[in-house]
């Protein structure tokens, strides 16, 4: 103790020095631990960057920035989506607020009159007193209220479809078939309805229509081009073409149209067959390779209507 008393300042200085050395050692260890953690994180980031660089496609390098390219391509995709939406334009309603049977029947009659005039102006033949698949609603003032909206939407869609046929100047419209959407449709003629049902998915409602018309090949091409150029999303799913001289039975089978007259070259009952002169082949001139004839077309068309965003 006497030595400490004689060397008090030296002893205090030594204790303070030891404390400072201990603190320095602690901070050194702490800094080394932090550096070790930082190095480990740096190695992990470097490994992630290396694995990304080896993938296909890679983020890029100093010369090719694939991230920027991906951003530009995303913008191009968004622009394409915006442009594609123009082909999915909804068919506008013919009249707002159809809430009563009287208002729908009045709209139906006005629309039928308009379509009949358009058909006459385009030179398109229609069945007598044709109601474009809405004969069941003609003069029916007892329609259920909850189906008026669906009927009005179908009326607008049928109008858009047949106007494409009128614009193509088909020779005759034999019929339009739609899916049943109202209780009153059950009393309608079967020729007005298709057995296909609308399909609903996460994106859209796909509504089927079946068209029967007569035309030549040029008009058929115009019809298909008209559906393709429409701002509404019409999709032609199938086209069945046969000569207009072939009649279609109720069961869908095709056969020759019945006739009470004997076929060409066949003698009538009780008549004596006259000698048949052999046809003389013409000499010179052009030969007929393809002779245009009137066609009977049955076409399935789907209308795609996008669902509103939730």
pLDDT, tens digit (0-9, with 9 covering 90-100), for 231-272: 889 999 999 999 988 755 433 444 443 333 333 444 444 444
Fold of 87-246+294-306: Alpha-Beta Plaits (3.30.70)
Which residues are within 8 A (CB) of 132 and not within 5 positions of it... i.e. 6 or more apart? 112, 115, 158, 159, 162, 176
User: How much is the pLDDT for 57?
Assistant: 63
Query: What are the residue ranges in the chain where pLDDT is below 50?
Result: 249-274, 276
Query: How much is the pLDDT for 113?
Result: 96
Q: How would you class 288 by CB atoms within 10 Å of its CB: exposed for 0-12, middle for 13-18, buried for 19 or more?
A: exposed
Q: Determine contact, residues 151/213, Cβ cutoff 8 Å.
A: no
- Structure confidence by residue, pLDDT tens digits, 173-208: 999 999 999 888 887 678 899 999 999 988 889 999
Average pLDDT, the chain: 81
The span from the CA of 48 to the CA of 254, in Å, is 69
pLDDT score for 69? 82
In whole angstroms, how large is the CA radius of gyration of the chain? 41
Question: What is the model's pLDDT at position 210?
Answer: 97
3-class SS at 301?
A: strand
Query: What is the reported pTM?
Result: 0.64
Domain boundaries, the chain: 87-246+294-306
Query: Strand locations in 91-166, DSSP E?
Result: none
Residue found by looking up tokens 């049943």 in the block: 180
């Amino acid at each position: 103790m006497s030595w400490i008393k004689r060397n008090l300042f030296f002893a205090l200085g030594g204790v303070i020095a030891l404390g400072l050395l201990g603190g320095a050692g602690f901070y050194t260890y702490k800094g080394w631990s932090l550096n070790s953690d930082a190095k480990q994180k740096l190695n992990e980031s470097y490994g992630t960057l290396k694995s990304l660089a080896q993938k296909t496609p890679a983020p890029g390098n100093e010369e090719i920035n694939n991230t920027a390219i991906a951003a530009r391509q995303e913008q191009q995709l968004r622009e394409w989506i915006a442009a594609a939406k123009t082909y999915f334009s909804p068919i506008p309603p013919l009249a707002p607020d159809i809430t009563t049977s009287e208002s729908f029947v009045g709209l139906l009659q006005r629309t039928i009159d308009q379509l009949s005039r358009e058909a006459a102006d385009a030179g398109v033949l229609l069945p007598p007193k044709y109601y474009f698949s809405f004969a069941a609603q003609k003069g029916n003032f007892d329609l259920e209220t909850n189906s008026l909206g669906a009927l009005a939407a179908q009326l607008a869609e049928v109008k858009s479809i047949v106007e494409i046929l009128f614009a193509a100047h088909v020779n005759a419209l034999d019929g339009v078939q739609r899916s049943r959407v109202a209780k009153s449709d059950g009393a309608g003629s079967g020729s007005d309805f298709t057995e296909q049902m609308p399909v609903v998915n996460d994106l859209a409602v796909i509504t089927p229509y079946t068209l029967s018309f007569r035309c030549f090949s040029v008009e058929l091409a115009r019809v298909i081009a008209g559906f393709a150029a429409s701002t509404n999303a019409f999709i032609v799913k199938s086209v069945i073409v046969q000569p207009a001289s072939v009649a279609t039975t109720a069961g869908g089978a095709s056969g020759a149209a019945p006739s009470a007259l004997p076929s060409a070259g066949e003698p009538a009952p009780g008549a004596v067959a006259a000698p048949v002169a052999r046809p003389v082949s013409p000499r010179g001139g052009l030969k007929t390779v393809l002779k245009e004839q009137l066609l009977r077309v049955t076409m399935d068309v789907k209308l795609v209507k996008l669902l509103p965003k939730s």
